[in-house]
Structure 1
Amino acid sequence: MKSLCLALVLVLLAGCTGGLRIDDSHTATGQNSRVQYVVLHYTSADLQRSLDLLTQTEVSSHYLIGDAPPTVYRLVDENRRAWHVGVSEWQGRTWLNASTIGIELVNQGYYETPAGRYWQPFAPKQIDTLIVLLKDIVKRHQLPLGSIIAHSDVAPQRKVDPGPLFPWKRLADEGLVPWPNEDAVARQQALFDISLPGIEWFQEQLAQQGYSVPRHGELDEATRNVIAAFQMKYRPARYDGQPDAETAARLQVLNLQAAG
């Protein structure tokens, strides 16, 4: 009798504690990762300040990479949402915190000086570490080429990080981001030097890249900000937001390469 009572008690306790049994023996083929993009940032602060901001405020990121030494800190599990991009849009998708992995690099960003804006270079070993991390993330989440983007790509009206000194070409050489064929750019630039497309063409090409950009054919501040974001990534020697033949050539070649 005592054994029967004990068994009944155990059954009741299992029910009270949510003793749900789930069968994992069947797996659907129609699935993929919830992660669609990786967004890169700089912190505008030193390591300790960066850790404080990213762990003790509402701002967060999945990873933080120090500069000396380039330690990788995991601050948010990849299965959870981090608050790192805010109001954002890329390829028509909005509010990208839900579908991105955020990586912050310890870097002061820029300083305003009497001689103009000074940007802090990224430590080479920090970039080496970032590349290892990115390759791991891309492999695990099976992300296609073009999935690694800048904060300035998804929020060009209010953000400039990771800035013009971030080595996107190095990432391209590692197979992590698309890069326009330089011979094709030179040929197309020679044509655009003769006849530069209109603003509406630039807006259309930028939209094909993924940017949220006006489509009214006017060179307003919002359009210049988007052009500057593209230039910081693919033509960092000059990122004045002005449409020119080289910018047009790089845009067109990239879009043609993406179209296959």
Structure 2
Amino acid sequence: MMRGITMRHIALLIAALLAGCSGPATLERRNGYVADHQYTAPSHSSRVRYLVLHYTDGGEARSLATLTGPNVSVHYVVPLPARWIHGQPRIYQLVDESRRAWHAGVSAWKGRHNLNDTSIGIEIVNRGPTDTAQGRVWAPYPPHQIDAVIALARDIIARHGIDPTNVVGHSDIAPSRKIDPGPRFPWRQLHAAGIGAWPDDASVARYLRRFRQNPPTLAELQCALAAYGYPITISGRLDDRTHDVLRAFTMHFRPDDYLRMTQDKVQPDAETAAILWALLEKYRLSAACL
């Protein structure tokens, strides 16, 4: 009776029996075992906490060659000019969202380090700054490219439940190393589209009146920056790290002012403090040292 029966026949018989017990849709054959998906635990959440935005600092071909090489990677690349398919912009996905891409490097936000572990990265094809005889010139982000970024970011944020204050630039999480996506990136426009954080104008005006009369100390400003998420030490000194964080904050929340500045080292002032306190108030972020 057993003549002519092979191991393949036996394997198929076992698979059929398993399918009869649990239903074929729940079974997944893997190397050496069968995973049964008929039970699902409802107590879980996404591992992704942060969305990090970058510019490529180069053209599309060179950027894709770098980002598909052995040393660096990212989840998505938004090209320039837009590539249209089926009436919608095409965006390159280089790494599955369940996998860790190498885009953030040495980084920190809200006390967490090595954000590659918990973030999704978007690289936007943009050449960044060019130093000329007239000063530094920053490449713009065309409207159609930003529309693509907005569509992608909305999708990612909705699926992973990312907090507005955790939508950040590379310069925010690595302020001493990085300056992307730069002061031309339209953070306020993204906020209007439901992406990321931005202060309310009325709150900024109220705090500005207060701080023009009684500005916070440098230590209090450092404490507020740390409470918002920036990696900064509360030293009470205007050290290099504080300059770097102030530069990142100004590029993000005061881009027009940053573009008018003639030096890279940004000084603390009442308007920076007013924007920062308005952000803390709006997003209910508190600090024990304030």
TM-score class, shorter: over 0.9
Name 2:73's counterpart in structure 1.
60
Q: Is 1:246 equivalent to 2:259 in the alignment?
A: no
Q: Give the partner amino acid of 1:219.
A: L
Deviations 1:71-109 (A, max 9, x none): 311111111111101000011111111111110000000
The alpha carbon displacement at 1:241 in A equals 2.1
Gaps of 5+ in 2: 15-29, 84-89, 259-264, 286-290
Residue matched to 2:94 = 75
Cα contact 2:164–2:195 (8 A) shared by 1:
yes
Matches within 5 A, 1:216-227: 216-227=235-246
Query: 8 Å contact 1:146–1:176 — kept in the other structure?
Result: no
Displacement over 3 Å in runs of 4+: 1-5, 7-11
Deviation at 1:147, TM superposition (A): 2.5
Aligned residues: 258
**1:43/1:107 contact within 8 Å kept:** yes
1:191 to 201, 210, 214: 210
Q: CA deviation at 1:21?
A: 1.8
AA matched with 1:250: I
Show the 5 A alignment for 1:14-29.
18-29=31-42
The amino acid across from 2:143 in the alignment is P
**Matched residue, 2:221:** 202
Give the residue type in structure 2 aligned to 1:232: M
TM-score when normalising by structure 2:
0.84
Structure 1-normalised TM-score?
A: 0.93
Contact in 1 for aligned 2:170/2:178 (Cα 8 Å) = yes
The amino acid of 1:113's aligned partner reads T
Q: Could you list the per-position Cα deviations for residues 201-260 of structure 1 after superposition, in whole angstroms to 9, with x for gaps in the alignment? A: 111000011111011111111101101111111111233421100000000010011118
Q: Structure 1: 5+ residue runs without aligned partners?
A: none
Question: 1:5: how far off?
Answer: 5.0
Give the percent of matched residue pairs that are identical in Structure 1 and Structure 2: 44
Alignment of 1:81-160 (within 5 A): 81-160=100-179
Alignment partners' CA distance in 2, 1:18 and 1:78: 24
Kept in 1: contact 2:154–2:194 (CA 8 A): no
Partner of residue 49, structure 2: 36
Q: Which amino acid in structure 2 is aligned with residue 119 of structure 1?
A: W
User: Contact between 2:107 and 2:115, CA under 8 Å: does it hold in 1?
Assistant: yes
Cα pair 1:226 1:241 within 8 Å, conserved: no
Structure of larger gyration radius: 2
Give 1:57 shift: 3.6
Backbone CA RMSD of aligned residues: 2.0
C-alpha separation in 2, matches of 1:23 and 1:69: 42
| Paired residues of 2:53 and 2:122 also in contact (CA < 8 A) | yes
